[in-house]
Structure 1
Amino acid sequence: MEISTISADQAYQMVQENKCNLIDIRELNELELTGRVEGANHIPMGNLETLLDPNSDVFKNGQIDKNKEVVLFCAGGVRSEMSVKSLTKKGFKNISHIEGGFGSIINSSFKIV
């Protein structure tokens, strides 16, 4: 199974062009310690499969646009890569993760709030 991996700069460009759903899968305590990425949705890894169901509220209320690519990131890239594998097995087609996770994001154009 091939995993789609993109750089933080590629993800930033996709966000600027409104072409993706950027999802931070870190735990809440990690966000509190290091900050949030402006514009990212927060769905902890343990809730991904439930909340990324097309019938869930995040799709129904427009928080996640099913017509755009889903881009995941965690702290370093390991959890997001595992999540992409898991979600791909569940039928997700348009999904990738950011290489290096939050560690590479802080050295990119993304704003940390």
Structure 2
Amino acid sequence: MAITPVKTLVSQAKEQIETLLQEDAEAQIAAGAVQFVDIRDIRELKREGRIPGAMHAPRGMLEFWLDPASPYHKPEFITDKKLVLFCAGAWRSALAVKTLQDMGFENIAELDGGFNAWKKRGAVIEGQAEETKYHD
């Protein structure tokens, strides 16, 4: 059985999804046009901080929380705003956006470069980084 490398899956997903550029992100937030959704693991949030106003949906629960037919559905994720998913480096978020598109979600995008690019350009982060024994 041939295994498709994850890098290939991410590349294919990125060809089919919308990406919100870092330089446009804060203006979109200020305009109230988007809702950021952080899909990183809770340990990443504690260690690195978070983008102000972003909702958290761990990658492993995302589809269940957004599906209105799921017993785990969280209605706060249903909004008229564009959902902009992000992870650390925009690989998990690309796959997540593609999966949600496959489920029928339309007003959805990923954040170019993810949290790491947000942090690197000096954008606002809330929550002091916490030292942990976990490092990526």
Same fold? TM cut 0.5 = yes
CA distance in 2, matches of 1:45, 1:69: 18
Task: Find the residue that maps to 2:88 and give its secondary structure.
Answer: coil
Letter in 2 for 1:96: A
Say whether residues 1:30 and 2:44 are aligned partners: yes
Equivalent pair of 1:36/1:112 in contact (CA under 8 Å): yes
Say whether residues 1:90 and 2:103 are aligned partners: yes
Cα shift readout 1:59-105 (whole Å, capped 9, x = no counterpart): 2xxx3352111100000000000001111000011110011101111
Aligned length: 109
What TM-score comes out, normalization by structure 1 length? 0.87
The sequence identity of aligned pairs, in percent, is 37
Letter in 1 for 2:125: I
Stretches (4+) displaced over 4 A: none
Out of 73, 87, 94, the residue aligned to residue 81 of structure 1 is: 94
Please name the residue that 1:67 is paired with: 80
What is the CA-CA distance between 1:12 and the residue it aligns to?
1.6
Q: What are structure 2's unaligned runs of at least 5 residues?
A: 1-14, 127-136
CA distance in 2, matches of 1:20, 1:65: 12
Please name the residue that 2:116 is paired with: 103
Please name the residue that 1:48 is paired with: 62
CA distance in 2, matches of 1:54, 1:17: 27
Larger radius of gyration: 2
The worse-fitting range, judged by mean Cα deviation, of 100-109 and 8-17 is: 100-109
Letter in 1 for 2:82: E
Say whether residues 1:14 and 2:34 are aligned partners: no
CA distance in 1, matches of 2:122, 2:32: 15
Which protein, 1 or 2, shows the higher relative CO under an 8 Å CA cutoff with sep ≥ 6?
1
Output the aligned Cα RMSD.
Answer: 1.7
The worse-fitting range, judged by mean Cα deviation, of 64-73 and 34-43 is: 64-73
